Amino acid sequence: MVILNDMGQETTFCNYKTGLTKAQFAEQIQMLAKLHSQYYQSQHPDFERLLIYKDRISNLIEVGLETMCVNGFRAAKSVIPPRLFARQNEIWPCTLKSVERNAALPATVVHGDVHLGNWYITPYGHMGLTDWQTVARGHWSRDIAYVLGTAVSAEKRRQWEHEMIEMYVSELRKHGGPSVSVEEAWLELRRQSLGVLAYWTLTLTPSENLPDMQTEEACLCFIGRICTMMDDHEVLGAFDF
């Protein structure tokens, strides 16, 4: 049994409306770099006990993930850039390619669900991460695509994203992880953005066997941010392999 102090009186739990500063956004990136570097290709026996990210998606496919994602994408048309929405028939096939690509890359511990609602701000303004129930073995680009696509508005992301990815690869290497080029990081996180989107299109239109997990407003906010990032970086062009 683990007993924790009640953080509610001192801590601000984020939601889709929370506005982060550049320093707080950077702290998210730095925290994930430390996590990913510490467990990169880990030989610890407990590492093998973690569910593989691909298997987590496979479990969702068995309960209708494709239908939920297709329906959710269409339902979110109002927040999706028209150029991306026009290619909706490519989204699911590329999502499957994204998952396969993740499984083919070196694994680390990934949180798996790093949207803004799973972060908190301490009384001193620092960031903390909660809700570790979807932790898995997978490639680090999953988490980075996720935080980049949901943590801040599209306007802030565009201003800060290149600096953040440069920081991530530097921090990853500094803490004992692999040496990755900025170009490689961008390529892989572009590919992993499809799996990030899937988590929110399914949440917008869950099947009758799944509960409502987020408000419609939160879903549309994050889908809009993710899809705008996907459109900005032409992610569907990253699957020519």
Tokens of 8: 């509610």
Print pLDDT tens along the chain (241 aa): 666 677 667 899 999 999 999 999 999 999 999 999 999 999 999 999 999 999 999 999 999 999 999 999 999 999 999 999 999 999 999 999 999 999 999 999 999 999 999 999 999 999 999 999 999 999 999 999 999 999 999 999 999 999 999 999 999 999 999 999 999 999 999 999 999 999 999 999 999 888 889 999 999 999 999 999 999 999 999 998 6
3-state helix, strand, coil split of the chain in percent (to 5) is: 60, 5, 35
Distance CA 155, CA 229 (A): 10
- The pTM of the full predicted model, rounded to 2 decimals, is 0.95
Which CATH code for domain 19-234? 3.90.1200
Domain ranges for the chain: 19-234
Question: Which strand (E) or helix (H) includes residue 168?
Answer: helix 154-174
Cβ–Cβ under 8 Å, residues 198 and 56: no
Residue with tokens 């982060």: 20
Cβ–Cβ under 8 Å, residues 165 and 186: yes
Residues 6+ apart with CB under 8 A from 231: 81, 83, 84
pLDDT tens digits for range 143-192: 999 999 999 999 999 999 999 999 999 999 999 999 999 999 999 999 99
